[in-house]
Chain A
Amino acid sequence: MILQVKIRKQTKEGLLDAAFSITEHDRQNLSILAEPGELRTGLLTCIAGLEKPDEGSVILNDRVLSDTLKGTFVKPEERHVGLICRQTVLFSGLTVQDNVRLVLTAAEKAGLSLASSGNPVERLLPDLLHDFGLDGLGGKMPSELTASQRVRALFARMMASQPQLVLLDDPVSGLDGETRASILCAARDLCRKKQIPVIYAGANADEAYQMGDRILVLENGKTGESKEKNAFFEKPKTLTGALMSGVSNVARAVPLSKTHALVSDWGLVVMKRGENGRLLPLPEGLCAVGIRSSDLAFEKPEGSSVRLSVYGAEVEEGPSCFLLRFCPVEGREKKIEVKVPKSVMRREELLRISTVYVPSNALLYLTDGALSC
C-alpha cells in the first residue's frame, strides 16, 4: 500500500470524512475533484501533517504518519510529503536559488538520497531550476518574479525536498490557461520520472484529467465517486460527479417504475435499452439525468433515442463554435446547451432547428452522491 487515508475532521465548513488509498498495484496519480474551501484544503493539510485529524489514520509507504487510536503523529517536517497550496510561499528574504538550496541542504542533512555524487546540492540545483523553466532566474528575489515564475519556483523547491508524495491544492490558480498546463505538465512528468505519486485537488476538470490517472470526487467533505479517469469522464454516476466533469445539461428525475423516470424540466419520460434491446433498470437513488452537449444530435441517430423539441432558441457565437441554448418545454426556463462547430452549421440554420435527438445510450443516470455512498 502506497497511501491509505481515513480521516474525519470537523471544520468550519462542515465534516470532512474522507477515505481512499493508492495501492502498489494501481500505482497511479489521483485527482480529487472538489470545490475550493476548507474541506478540500483540510484533507491535504491533514495528510501533510499541518493539521491533526479528529479521527482516523494516514499511512504512507507502510509508515504510520498519524493514527488517532494509537496516538501516533509524525511532524510535518519528518513526513517527506510535499505540499503546494494557496498558503505556500517563497521565503521572502532569500533568492530563488537560495530557497531551493536551503531545502536541498535540509534534505541532505536529513539523510535523504539526493542521487548525485560529489556535491549533490550544487549539482542538483541547476537541474531543478531548469526542469521548471527558471534558467537565469536563480539570483532573483521572490518579489522580482512574475506570478508564473513564483509558482515554478515553488515546484522546483518542493521537488528539492525529495518528497515521497506530492500534494497539490490547485497550485496554479490565478495563472492563464496555457501557463497552468505547462507548469502542471512539467510537475507531472518529473514526478512520474521519479516515481512519486501525486494527489492533485482542484475544481478544474481538464486539469484533473491531465494530472490524475484516477478521479475521486469530494462531495461536501465526503469521498464519493472514484474511477479510472476515462471511465469517470465518459459515464459519471453521481450528480456532483457529472457537474464537476463538465456535463452541462442536467435535470432532476423522479423514478416512475423500475425502468422509467420522469424528467419534468424536459417534459420527458426517459428509459434506456441495453445491447439486447431490453429495458435497463434505473440505478438505486436516481435523482437526475444528464446529457453532454457533444452527445446531442440534429439528425435521428441509429438505435433508440430521445427526442427533444426546441423552443426559444438562442445562439451565442464563440471563436470556433456556436452555443445553441433552447428550452425543451414551451414556457419553461430550464435551458439545454449544445456546442456546434462553426464548420458544421451556420447561425441561421441553427435558429431554424426544431428537434434535437439524444442517443439513448448517451443519457446519463445520476444518483445522489450521499445516497450512493
Chain B
Amino acid sequence: MELLSALTQSILIGAALLVPAGALSSLVIPPLADALLFAGIFVPAEIFAGSSLGFALTIVSAFCLEFLLLHMRAGKIRRDEILTARTLGLDRRQIRKNLIRPRMRCGLPLAFLAGICRMCLSICPYLALILAAALVVNWILGRKS
C-alpha cells in the first residue's frame, strides 16, 4: 500500500514537473519517457524518505537516468543512413564505430549538463516551478517584443 501510494504520488509530481524540467534539460525526451524518469527518481526517494539513502538515491538516479537517455539519443542514427551505409559495404561493427560512437561522443557534454540539471531539480523540486514561471514570463515577453 505504501509502495502504491509512493508510486502514484511520484507520477503526479513527475507530471507536474514535466514541462519545466523537459524544457530545461532535454526537449528531445518525449513526455512518457519523462514521466517514467520522474517516477524512477521519486519512487526510491519516497520509500526511503527522510533517510540519507533516499536522498542519495534521488540525486544519483536523477543524474544517471537523464545522462543515459540523452547520451543514447545523441547516438541515434536514421534508418536511411544505416541502409545507405550497408550498400556502401559498411557492416554493423563499422557503422557503430564510425557513425554512432562519434555522435555519442559529441553529445557527451550536453548529456552531462542535462544530468546535472536533473540532479539539481531532484534536490530542489521548487526550483522547477520557479524555472517554469521564468520560462512562461520569458515566452510572454518574447511574444510581446
Residues of A within 8 A of B (CB): 48-50, 75-83, 87-89, 91-93, 102-103, 106-107, 110, 112, 157-158, 160-162
Smallest beta-carbon distance A108→chain B, Å: 10
CA distance A243 to B90 in the complex (A): 40
CA distance A92 to B88 in the complex (A): 15
B interface secondary structure, majority: helix
User: A102 and B84: CB pair below 8 A?
Assistant: no
Which residues of A have CB within 8 Å of B89?
77-78, 80, 103, 106-107, 110, 112, 161-162
Given contacts A93-B102, A93-B106, A106-B94, are A157 and B88 in contact (CB under 8 A)? yes
Other-chain contact of B88, A75, A93, A106 (Cβ < 8 Å): A106
Q: Which of B3-11, B32-40, B57-65, B75-83 contacts A (4 or more CB under 8 A)?
A: B75-83
Other-chain contact of A161, B78, B88, B102 (Cβ < 8 Å): B88
Most buried by A among B83, B85, B103, B106: B83
Please encode chain B, from 86 to 121, with 1 for each CB lying within 8 Å of some chain A CB and 0 for all others: 111111001000110011001000000000000000
User: B88 and A103: CB pair below 8 A?
Assistant: yes
Other-chain contact of A93, B86, B87, B103 (Cβ < 8 Å): B103
Q: What is the size, in residues, of chain B's interface with A at 8 Å between Cβ atoms? A: 18
Smallest beta-carbon distance B109→chain A, Å: 16
Given contacts A93-B99, A93-B102, A106-B94, are A75 and B83 in contact (CB under 8 A)? no
User: A91 and B87: CB pair below 8 A?
Assistant: no
Q: What are the nearest 8 A-B pairs in CB distance? A: A76-B86, A83-B87, A161-B88, A103-B88, A77-B86, A87-B80, A77-B91, A89-B80
Which residues of A have CB within 8 Å of B98?
102
CA distance A75 to B89 in the complex (A): 9
CA distance A160 to B89 in the complex (A): 10
User: B81 and A91: CB pair below 8 A?
Assistant: yes
User: B90 and A87: CB pair below 8 A?
Assistant: no
Other-chain contact of A88, B84, B103, B106 (Cβ < 8 Å): B84
Residues of B within 8 A of A (CB): 78, 80-81, 83-91, 94, 98-99, 102-103, 106
Smallest beta-carbon distance A189→chain B, Å: 21
CA distance A79 to B87 in the complex (A): 8
Which residues of A have CB within 8 Å of B91?
75, 77
Which residues of A have CB within 8 Å of B81?
89, 91-92
Smallest beta-carbon distance B4→chain A, Å: 45
User: A89 and B94: CB pair below 8 A?
Assistant: no
Which residues of B have CB within 8 Å of A79?
87
Which residues of A have CB within 8 Å of B103?
93
User: B94 and A87: CB pair below 8 A?
Assistant: no
CA distance A161 to B89 in the complex (A): 7
Smallest beta-carbon distance A226→chain B, Å: 25
User: A81 and B90: CB pair below 8 A?
Assistant: no
User: B99 and A91: CB pair below 8 A?
Assistant: yes
User: A89 and B78: CB pair below 8 A?
Assistant: yes
Smallest beta-carbon distance B30→chain A, Å: 22
CA distance A102 to B103 in the complex (A): 15
User: B90 and A103: CB pair below 8 A?
Assistant: yes
CA distance A112 to B88 in the complex (A): 12
User: A50 and B80: CB pair below 8 A?
Assistant: no
User: B102 and A87: CB pair below 8 A?
Assistant: no
Nearest-neighbor residue (CB-CB) of B98 within chain A: A102
Which residues of B have CB within 8 Å of A77?
85-91
Which residues of B have CB within 8 Å of A50?
83, 86-87
CA distance A158 to B90 in the complex (A): 12
Nearest-neighbor residue (CB-CB) of B102 within chain A: A93
User: A102 and B90: CB pair below 8 A?
Assistant: yes
Smallest beta-carbon distance A151→chain B, Å: 13
CA distance A106 to B88 in the complex (A): 8
Nearest-neighbor residue (CB-CB) of A80 within chain B: B89
CA distance A110 to B106 in the complex (A): 28
Smallest beta-carbon distance A350→chain B, Å: 50
CA distance A79 to B89 in the complex (A): 8
Nearest-neighbor residue (CB-CB) of B79 within chain A: A87
